[in-house]
Structure 1
């Protein structure tokens, strides 16, 4: 189903109602929330159209993308839970579906018998690559913002998330550097 544009700006309409009923800070907060929500809905619609063509949900795709980026092609289920910020039971369900579809296999950890790893299969790598190419071409590259606007928006949303307690700002840079070094990323190259 095609995403149909609204005949008016829902965010501005909502902001005006809030200004009439409440106050400026509440109205602008409502407008920020509504703008983020509507933008997320619009972008998720575009992403879901790509995912549907590959028999994936975005959550399953995210697991594949992390596994494909991992030099060893395998990650602990607990690590996936932490990085994707989803409960362990949800990770188990995601991995079950990926295993059933032949995209991932469970393997024992080489040094910790209590830990199970999810390892991407060749088929999973091919599906992830094709889905990522389509996301890049159909959603991410054509995003209706310039590079400078994207950077500014990422920064503003990072501040919102940081101040809202979504991540530990005192440890974030060190943790990301550690992730990069284990993957051979920018800090590890």
Structure 2
């Protein structure tokens, strides 16, 4: 269901209110943070709608995609948690749901009995590919950002994430490689 657009931008109005209440020095940063959070809500809603026919949330899709992109279609649960940057409890919850749907299997590690290994099932591979194709078609190919915006956002958020300690910034370019034409 699509929302009816508001007659004015409530975030710009909030920034004006911030200024009127004496917080002018943080009004624009507040508007930027609030805009990012609202954009995240909009984009997450679009991804969740695209993934609903597959019985997936975006978090579960990310785990399936991670396993599907891995060379062996399997990895330690602790590594998946680290790469997805989520608490192990969140991965356990996602794995429980994916396992009950027959999309992943959880097995003990061959040499480390404390570790668990996640493996993508054949059905999990099929769903990962189909869900990715749907996301590419319905969300990623039509974000509402033009190419220059996409490049700027990747750069801006890459620098922000590196500065926030999200990953080690070694001086390398944080933007995604763009395919050559």
Counterpart in 1 of 2:140? 140
Query: RMSD in angstroms over aligned alpha carbons?
Result: 1.9
Q: Residue 90 in 1 paired to residue 97 in 2?
A: no
User: How much does 1:102 deviate?
Assistant: 0.2
Task: Return the offset for 1:80.
Answer: 1.2
Moved segments of 4+, more than 6 Å: none
| Structure 2 equivalent of residue 52 of structure 1 | 52
Does structure 2 conserve the Cα–Cα contact (< 8 Å) formed by 1:15 and 1:31?
yes
Change (3 A) 1:169 1:127: same
Against the structure 1 CA distance between its residues 19 and 138, is the aligned structure 2 distance closer, same or farther, given a 3 Å change threshold? Answer: same
Structure 2 stretches lacking a partner, 5+ long: 175-181
- Alignment correspondent of 1:76: 76
Gaps of 5+ in 1: 177-189
Contact 1:50 1:134 in 2 (8 A): yes
2:177 aligns to what?
A: none
Match in the other structure for 2:28: 28
- Judging changes above 3 Å, is the alpha-carbon distance between structure 1 residues 153 and 92 closer, same or farther for their aligned structure 2 residues? same
Q: Any conservation in 2 of the 1:3–1:42 contact (CA below 8 Å)? A: no
TM value normalised by structure 1: 0.84
1:112 is aligned to: 112
Q: How far off its partner does 1:159 sit?
A: 2.0
| C-alpha deviation, 1:117, in angstroms | 0.7
For 1:22 and 1:46, the matched residues in 2 are separated by: 37
C-alpha distance in 2, partners of 1:167/1:10? 33
Q: Secondary structure at the match of 1:141?
A: helix
Q: C-alpha separation between the residues in 1 aligned to 2:137 and 2:25?
A: 38
Instruction: Provide the residue aligned with 2:123 in structure 1.
Output: 123
Determine the C-alpha separation between the residues in 1 that align with 2:152 and 2:122: 37
Distance in 2 (alpha carbons) for counterparts of 1:35 and 1:89: 29
Q: 1:19 to 1:90 in 2, by over 3 A?
A: same
